[in-house]
Chains A and B, each alone.
Chain A
Amino acid sequence: MSIKGKSYIIGVFEHPTRLATDKTIPQLHAECARGAIEDAGITKDDIDGYFCAAGDMSGLGALSMIDYLGLKLKHWDSTDTGGSSYLLQVGHAAEAVAAGKCNIALITLAGRPRAEGMQTGTAPRAPANPMPESGFEFPYGPATANMYAMCAMRHMHQFGTTSEQLAWVKVAASHHAQYNEHAMLRDVVTVEDVVNSPMIADPLHRLDCCVISDGGGAIILARPEIARSLKRPKVKVIGTGEGPKNQYGGKLDLTYSGAVVSGPIAFAEAGVKPADIKYASIYDSFTITVVMQIEDLGFCEKGQGGKFVSDGNLISGTGKLPFNTDGGGLCNNHPSNRGGLTKVVEAVRQLRGEAHPAVQVRNCDIALAHGTGGSLGTRHGAATVIMERE
């Protein structure tokens, strides 16, 4: 069975806050849900499926949020792969809708790491309960930044990728963010600005790293006949894929990501090729994340990602692959340290023709959203979603 064309994204919402000192996490979830419900033009009681990542609410995750939001459901799921959770959840929601397990599925994300003063990128996170690998990793100080940095270091060694090439990813994101009134960082930066910013974890500089922000977002999927009954532009889900990546018992290779699995599955289901993609949301926790995923999704040959992203090739209007036209995680927003949901939101804006006019891709009929959650340098879950404007 394929999910192609069996569900549509009928509503999306990105919370405008970037610092939520005055709100609770459940309150943010509710505000995001309300925003997507209003965008779709439905009511809360139309929703019969709900997706809330286990890590977005303590305890049994979705169960507390189902209670708090007052949802009446037939189907729910707490799949959690960190920042890519929402991309997997779009796939799982599409499956549930296609199988008739629910008619309208809501996905929410919310969190406030900035308000809580979380040292997101530079402090190793001690697990509440040890995982099987913990004793062999945690003593060595694996934070977020240095794990992605080790991927960048190996990529540079093996393929000749340079800091200047990585910097182009941030430069492109900043060109887009200048038009986003909600973006945390709206100043256009240069390659020199990036490589001259303080070193965080060799070879990644401060401007190679995404922002830390509060907020969240929501996505609503529905059956085709429901989408057709609504007034919003039609965005059809045509292909999804997911792929875990790990250390393979010590046969470690940090030069590629789980996109080598998720990408081909999604492209095959959608019946399209990388060359057909007019706009791509690519998870940009760090600049290296984008380079590796672009290679693994087949937008260029393996090892050529640095060259591919250079010279503005990701900038809308001038580059071959317009990406993250909201400014992405590097400049706009990385709500709750999880950037997968906003990747879908901006892709939907592009397909609807509702992106900022300065970054709107012309004739944007097919878009891709892709992400990596967990750590690129240890274990992660990759997911790809391909959508088409009808």
Chain B
Amino acid sequence: MAEGQQVRKIPAPQPNLETQPFWDACAEGKLLIKKCNACGEVHFYPRAHCPFCFSADTSWQPASGDAVIYTYSVMRRGAPVPYAIAYVTLAEGPTMMTNIVDCDLNGIKIGQKVRLVFKPSEGGPPVPCFAPV
């Protein structure tokens, strides 16, 4: 995106007791996912309990930040500026909702490789977004 072009303001996420470590890590530029110590599966969004085997023994793992676009849509009405919402599949497996940023919104494609980048939110921690590699 060109310098000085208006970008969408991102509402602040609201961390809670389960997700505070996730947002604290975002503030340090790291993306965390949850891994189940019982079944070994990783999941997203992060929970205290594994949604697969229902073990309560889960731990935070750093994600590489590499991902591929699963799907996306550019919102062209109703917002002050167009923005791209997307689901990206992380190299570690889980697919997460995000925004595709720092690019020509008309050039986004499913299957495109993207890389983690953090964007400020309004009054909250920075939010993990992705930009084409």
Nearest CB in chain A: distance from B16 CB, A: 7
Nearest CB in chain A: distance from B122 CB, A: 9
Interface majority SS (helix, strand, loop, mixed), chain B:
loop
B95 close to A (CB within 8 Å)? yes
Q: Given A150-B72, A150-B73, A202-B76, answer yes or no on A139-B85 (Cβ-Cβ < 8 Å).
A: no
- Please encode chain B, from 33 to 44, with 1 for each CB lying within 8 Å of some chain A CB and 0 for all others: 000000001111
Expressed in whole angstroms, the Cα–Cα distance for A362 and B127 within the complex equals 56
The size bracket of the interface on B is 35 or more
Chain B positions within 8 Å of A130 at CB level: 14, 16
Q: Which of A133, A140, A203 has the most CB of B within 10 A?
A: A140
Expressed in whole angstroms, the Cα–Cα distance for A281 and B11 within the complex equals 38
B contact set with A: CB distance below 8 Å: 8, 10-16, 18-19, 23, 41-45, 47, 50-52, 70-79, 83, 85-87, 89-90, 93-99, 110-111, 121, 124, 127
Contact with A136, one of B10, B13, B75, B86 (Cβ below 8 angstroms): B13
A141 close to B (CB within 8 Å)? yes
Contact with B74, one of A119, A138, A143, A202 (Cβ below 8 angstroms): A202
Contact with A154, one of B79, B110, B121 (Cβ below 8 angstroms): B110
Nearest CB in chain B: distance from A226 CB, A: 44
A161 close to B (CB within 8 Å)? no
User: Could you name 25 residue pairs across A and B whose Cβ atoms are closer than 8 Å?
Assistant: A121-B78, A130-B14, A135-B14, A135-B15, A136-B44, A140-B85, A140-B98, A140-B99, A141-B75, A141-B83, A141-B99, A145-B75, A150-B72, A152-B73, A153-B72, A154-B70, A157-B71, A157-B111, A198-B77, A201-B73, A203-B73, A249-B43, A249-B44, A249-B47, A252-B89
Number of interface residues of A (CB under 8 A): 43
Closest to A137 in B: B97
- Please encode chain A, from 108 to 148, with 1 for each CB lying within 8 Å of some chain B CB and 0 for all others: 00000000000101110010001011111111111101110
Expressed in whole angstroms, the Cα–Cα distance for A198 and B51 within the complex equals 40
- Please encode chain A, from 177 to 207, with 1 for each CB lying within 8 Å of some chain B CB and 0 for all others: 0000000000000000000001111111000
Closest to A124 in B: B11
A contact set with B: CB distance below 8 Å: 119, 121-123, 126, 130, 132-143, 145-147, 149-154, 157, 198-204, 247-252, 254, 378
Nearest CB in chain B: distance from A198 CB, A: 7
Decide if A139 touches B12 in the complex (CB within 8 Å).
yes
Decide if B99 touches A250 in the complex (CB within 8 Å).
no
